[in-house]
């Protein structure tokens, strides 16, 4: 069995994750990193990654950042209550890297911030989000 310090700890991910091909590559207390190789099927009509892809990666990284438990048997899930994305630049590399950081919160709600860079070093987008923990009885 994988442990929570191994980025493959939650490797099965969601159907959307498997479809788009992004991977959780780092996950620890208050932090998560998700990567996605550039490919034709994520591009818009202008040949740029669709902004929905950016929002998905940011939402995913920030969501994971607040849900780390350190124990694969005790999974924590959260729902996105608010997500604000600011688009800053166009990607020029061939890998998108989204990082999320938990910035605060309490027993039921947490706050996070995130950014997407590409492997050329360009900052593509930033985001903030508010998330609500799901009760484990629904997991």
pLDDT score of 139: 43
Residue 70 included in any domain? yes
Report the 10 Å Cβ neighbour count for 49. 22
Structural tokens at position 63 = 């969501």
Residue 14 included in any domain? yes
pLDDT score of 136: 64
Overall pTM surpassing 0.85 (yes/no): yes
Residue 62 included in any domain? yes
Return the SS3 of 19.
Answer: helix
What residues make up the domain containing 134?
Answer: 7-138
Residue 35 included in any domain? yes
Counting the structural domains of the chain, the total is 1
- pLDDT lower than 70: segments of the chain: 1-12, 136-139
CB 98 within 8 A of CB 58: yes
Residue 114 belongs to a domain with what CATH number? 3.10.129.10
The DSSP letter of residue 74 is S
Find, among 47, 67, 69, 63, the residue nearest to 100 by Cα.
Answer: 63
pLDDT score of 8: 47
Residue 1 included in any domain? no
CB 113 within 8 A of CB 31: no
């Amino acid at each position: 069995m994988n442990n929570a310090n191994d980025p493959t700890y939650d490797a099965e991910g969601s159907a959307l994750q498997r479809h788009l091909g992004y991977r959780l590559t780092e996950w620890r207390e208050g932090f998560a990193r998700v990567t996605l190789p550039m490919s034709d099927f994520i591009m818009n009509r202008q040949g740029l990654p669709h902004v929905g892809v950016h929002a998905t990666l940011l939402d995913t990284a920030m969501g994971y950042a607040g849900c780390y438990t350190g124990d694969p048997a005790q999974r924590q899930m959260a729902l996105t209550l608010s997500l604000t994305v600011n688009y800053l630049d166009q990607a020029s590399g061939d890998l998108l890297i989204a990082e999320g950081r938990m910035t605060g919160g309490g027993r039921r709600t947490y706050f996070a911030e995130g950014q997407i860079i590409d492997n050329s070093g360009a900052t593509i987008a930033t985001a903030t989000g508010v998330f609500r923990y799901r009760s484990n009885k629904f997991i």
